[in-house]
Amino acid sequence: MTPPATAAAAVAPAGADEAANVVKRLIEAIDRVDGLLQEETRLVRAARLREAAVVADHKAAAAGLYERELVALRAVAGVILRTMPERAAELRGRLAALNETLAVNLAVVGTAKAVAEDMMRTVADEVGRRSQPHGYGAHGRASPRSGAPAPISISRRL
């Protein structure tokens, strides 16, 4: 009785031609993700957040394809290393470049998020400060707040 095929064996290529095809597809996926990361970074830096959100949706889909291609690559890594070491080196270079692009993207998006959170904290603090009593009541104590704090309205239009 033969053991059931594993997921890796199911995608394993028959030879170097199919391994080369996996490399080609992975490089295309890397280029797609890299381009979308660069575009998102550019848009966030330009404060064009609505457009950046659309790019982020495309980026998520491209990242899914990239992950699937990585699984296929793992299944054929031995064939690639034996038969096409130059393509393996090219892949390493592309992955290193993608990591650099990703690091810049994470820094820019993280900074934008921190700025937005800081703005919200500042607004909340200001609203809270304005709702604090400004005088003293009987017996020299601060007057209690009158009612709930003022509501905050946020426009999502960019």
19 vs 69: CA distance, rounded Å = 11
Widest CA span in the chain: 92
Q: Residue 47: is it exposed, middle or buried by C-beta count within 10 angstroms (0-12/13-18/19+)? A: exposed
CA within 13 Å, CB half, 58: 15
DSSP class of residue 153 equals -
Distance of CA 35 to the CA centre of its chain: 13
- Residue 146 binned pLDDT confidence (cut-offs 50, 70, 90): low
85-143 pLDDT, tens per residue?
999 999 999 999 999 999 999 999 999 888 888 888 887 777 777 666 556 666 666 65
DSSP count for the chain of H helices, then E strands: 4, 0
Taking the whole predicted model, whether its pTM rises above 0.75 is answered as no
Contact 15, 84 (CB under 8 A): no
